[in-house]
Amino acid sequence: MVEVKPVEIVVDSREASSRIGEALSALPGVSVQTAELSSGDYLVAPGVAVERKEALDLIASILDRRLFEQVGKMLGEHDRAIVLVEGDPYKTGRDVAVEAIDGALAWLACLSGVHVMYSPSLAVTPRLLWRMAVQLRHGLGYEIPLRGNKPKQPWAQAQFIVEGLPGVGPTTARALVAHFGSARAVLCASEEDLRAVKGVGPKTAASIVQALVSGI
Amino acid sequence: MVEVKPVEIVVDSREASSRIGEALSALPGVSVQTAELSSGDYLVAPGVAVERKEALDLIASILDRRLFEQVGKMLGEHDRAIVLVEGDPYKTGRDVAVEAIDGALAWLACLSGVHVMYSPSLAVTPRLLWRMAVQLRHGLGYEIPLRGNKPKQPWAQAQFIVEGLPGVGPTTARALVAHFGSARAVLCASEEDLRAVKGVGPKTAASIVQALVSGI
DNA sequence: ACTTCCGATCCTTGA
DNA sequence: TCAAGGATCGGAAGT
C-alpha cells in the first residue's frame, strides 16, 4: 500500500473548472480549493504562487509588456512566485523576434526574482503542480543520500568508512587502516598519531579531527 | 547604429572548445575567458554560475544522484546558480519514470535554491547565455540579489562519515549523530550504546561494530 | 527524482 | 513480563 500524502492546492476561480482543475482533483490526496486570486493562477503552498503561462500567452504578454507587470504583482503579493511555462515559446507560430523571447526568458531566470518551471504540455502541468505542492508540504520523501553504494564485504568496509574522512582517498585509507589496525582505531586516533601516517599531513589531520568532533 | 554592450563570459576549460564556446565568441561584444571552474560550466557574470544540462544528461544525473551533488556544490561556491536545461527531458527515450522527472524539476524550481532556465536546443543556448550576461551586466540597474550561501555545514560532514557504516542510511545517520553528539562519539560507541538509538537494532549494531573493529 | 519490494524494527495485544 | 502478531520504518535496487 502506498502512502498518500495530502496536499491542498488553491485554484483561482477563473481556472477552477478548467481541465487542470479537474485533473488536480483526480490526483491522490489532493484537495482543491477555489479562491479569487488577485495574482497567479494557483497556490501550491501557502505563500507560493504559480502563474501558468501557455507559450502563446507568454509571447503575447511579452509583446504587450503585461508579463513584467504580472510578475511584479505576484512577487508583491506572495512569498514566492513561480512562472510555469507550458510548451515551447520558440514554436508558437507567432511572428515575434527570437531576441524578444531570449530576453524575456533570461530576465525571468536572472532578474525578475521569480522561479521558472517548464511543462511540455497541458497534460503534464497538473502533475507538476501536484509534485511541487507535495514537496513543499512534506519535503522530499526521504533524505538525499550523501554517498553512493557501500560495499558488503566486511574487509572492504573498514576502508570504505575511513574513505569518508575529508582528504582521504583510497590510498590513504588503506594506509590508515594498515597503520592503526582497524577503522575504529583510526577514528579514535589523535591528530598527532594521524600525522604519523604517510599521506596525512598537518592539514588533513586537522580536518579529519575537525570532522570527527563536530556534532550536529 | 546599434549599441554593442560588452560582456565577459567565463567558460569552463572543458567546454571552451565546444560549439557553444565558439558561438559565444562570435556574438557581438562578447569576450570569452577560459578558466577551470570547479562547479558550473559558465560564469555569466561575476558570482553567477550556469550549469548546462542537456536533457539526456539531466536524466542520467538524476538517476545517479549526481545532480544534487552538483547543485549543492554550485550553490556553495557561487552567489547564484542557474541550471540551463537543454531540450525536453520528457523526450529523451531513456526508460525512466516520469514521476522522477516531475520530481526533479519540481525540486529544482522549488526547493533546490537554484534558478532554472530552458533552452529548446543547442543552437539557442549561446544566445541565452549571452542574453543573461548582458542583462546582468547592463540590466536596468538592478542589483543581483545575493543569497547567503554557507560553505558545507560541519554537521553534514559528520553525517557523511557515519553514513559509511553498514545498515546506516541518511535517517539513521542523523539519529546517531544527534544521539552521540559527534561522529567520533558514534564510532567509539559500544554495541550496547548503539542499540539505544532509534533505528538501530541488535543486528545493525553488531555489523557496525564488526566493521569498525575489523582490520584489512 | 520516484516506486516497489524486502527485511528489520518497533509497538500493541493478550495471555 | 513476555511472545506473537501486525504496523511501521529504513535500505536496496530498479525505472
Helix (H) or strand (E) holding B48: strand B48-54
Closest nucleotide (C1' vs CA) to B64 is: C1
pLDDT at B144: 40
C-alpha distances in angstroms, B201 versus B118, B164, B172, B205, B208? 47, 17, 11, 6, 11
Q: Select the more confidently predicted residue: A37 or B198.
A: A37
Count of other CB atoms within 10 angstroms of residue A33? 10
Quickly give B96 CA vs D14 C1' distance in Å: 10
Minimal Cα distance from B143: which residue of A?
A111
Rg (CA), chain A: 26
A184, B213: Cβ pair inside 8 Å?
Answer: yes
Residue A128 has pLDDT above 90, yes or no: yes
List, for residues B134-149, the tens digit of each pLDDT value: 999 887 544 444 443 3
Residues of chain B positioned with their CB less than 8 A from the CB of A59: none
Candidate ranges A114-128, A152-166, A192-206, B153-167; pick with highest mean pLDDT: A114-128
Share of chain A above pLDDT 90, in %: 64
Secondary structure of B86-134 in the HEC alphabet?
ECCHHHCCCCCCHHHHHHHHHHHHHHCCCEEEEECCCCCHHHHHHHHHH
C-alpha distances in angstroms, B24 versus A24, A84, B38, B132? 42, 28, 21, 12
pLDDT at A52: 97
Contact, B203 CB vs strand C, < 7 Å: yes
Residue A119 has pLDDT above 90, yes or no: yes
Residues of chain B positioned with their CB less than 8 A from the CB of A184: 187-188, 212-213
Alpha-carbon dihedral angle through residues B180, B182, B183, B186, given to the nearest 10 degrees: -20
Quickly give A166 CA vs D8 C1' distance in Å: 35
List, for residues A136-190, the tens digit of each pLDDT value: 988 777 777 666 667 767 677 888 888 888 788 878 888 998 899 988 899 889 9
pLDDT at B154: 59
List, for residues B72-103, the tens digit of each pLDDT value: 889 878 889 999 999 999 999 999 999 999 99
Contact between B205 and B175 under an 8 Å Cβ cutoff? The reply is no
Instruction: Take residue A57 and report the three cell numbers written for it.
Output: 500567452
Contacts of B143 (CB under 8 A, 6+ apart): none
Instruction: Take residue A91 and report the three cell numbers written for it.
Output: 514554436
Helices (H) then strands (E): counts for chain A: 10, 6
Residue A196 has pLDDT above 70, yes or no: yes
Q: Which residue is nearest to nucleotide D11 (CA to C1')?
A: B169
Q: Beta strand pairing status for A115-119 and A80-86?
A: parallel
Alpha-carbon dihedral angle through residues B10, B12, B13, B17, given to the nearest 10 degrees: -80
Averaged pLDDT for residues A121-134: 97
Contacts of B41 (CB under 8 A, 6+ apart): B11, B12, B14, B15, B50, B51, B52
- pTM for the model stands at 0.86
Averaged pLDDT for residues A24-31: 93
pLDDT at B16: 81
**Identity at B177, one-letter amino acid code:** V
Low-confidence ranges of chain B (pLDDT < 70): 1-2, 140-156, 215-216
Candidates A108, A155, A161: best to mutate against B (most CBs of B within 10 A) is: A161
pLDDT at B152: 46
